[in-house]
Amino acid sequence: MITFNKLAYSMLDQIRGGLLSDDESISLRLVKYWINNTRTMLIRQDVDKGRSISANIIQTIACLEVEEVDASTCPCATPVGCTIMRTVRTIPKPIETSQRDLIVRVSPIKITERAFTLVNQFRANWSGYSDFNINPKAFYRDQYIWILNAPQGLEMITVQGVFENPEDLAAYVSCTSTPCYSDDDIYPISAWMIPAMEKIIMEGNFKIAATTPVDEKGNAKPDYSPEQTKE
């Protein structure tokens, strides 16, 4: 288990062979961008092979407020004039695989309550309101979580998923007003992915960045010269 900051600093240290300086041309921010993108690729490949989703890569957004909105804003098959529950805020983009978006659980905020049935956004057309279809169902569409047949009095939900950019969860807070993510928290990655990620970044991203021309004069003109490798 490792934090994002420690993972990124370790990678940057490897890139420069342990010799970092204040004028480092490859920034920590860039390394974090590479890490997030490579993590997404590895997870997508793993899930597309039919492997189960590890708890190590799942993040939780608790206490998301929901509101009643007109069903006309939703593609589900409901009568005109009906309403549907939807999160007040959009949620971060989940990783998209060949089969689905990686939202893995939607539930009321009480841990003892049963999770809602997850359905594909297209199946929602056939999962509308019915006297014979009263179980709550949730689906992801247009960056929102929508809930069909929501329980009476539902005000908040908890969403668990595998998100493209784990840092996006820093904009959300738990029921105790604690941020759902910081770069000093455990980074949502499985241990086996780290060496694979390092290899991809060292042999791909870093080599491309190291050979890309840089404008050293900063005079609004393309005065490019090859980047000098620090010794």
The 3-state secondary structure of 167-188 reads HHHHHCECCCCCECCCCCCECC
Residue-level pLDDT at 193: 96
Query: How far is it, in rounded angstroms, from Cα 160 to Cα 166?
Result: 12
Nearest to 29 by CA among 9, 56, 52, 14: 9
Nearest to 137 by CA among 86, 96, 91: 86
Residue-level pLDDT at 76: 56
Please name the residues in contact with 218: beta carbons below 8 A apart, sequence gap of 6 or more: none
Residue 130 Rama label (left phi>0; alpha psi -120 to 50; beta): beta
Residue-level pLDDT at 211: 64
Tokens of 80: 């005109």
> 87 pairs with which residues across the strands?
66
Task: Specify the DSSP element, H or E, that contains 45.
Answer: helix 28-48
Mean pLDDT by 10 residues, the chain (231 residues): 94 73 72 96 96 96 93 59 87 94 95 89 59 77 92 95 97 93 97 95 80 53 44 37
Query: How far is it, in rounded angstroms, from Cα 59 to Cα 37?
Result: 17
Tokens of 120: 């594909």
CA angle 167, 173, 179 (to 5 degrees): 55
SS3 130: coil
Tell me the pTM: 0.81
Query: How far is it, in rounded angstroms, from Cα 68 to Cα 84?
Result: 6
Question: How far does Cα 29 stand from its chain's mean position?
Answer: 17
Across the chain, the runs of DSSP E, i.e. the strands, are 59-70, 83-87, 103-108, 117-118, 137-141, 144-148, 156-161, 214-215, 224-225
Residue-level pLDDT at 224: 42
SS3 117: strand
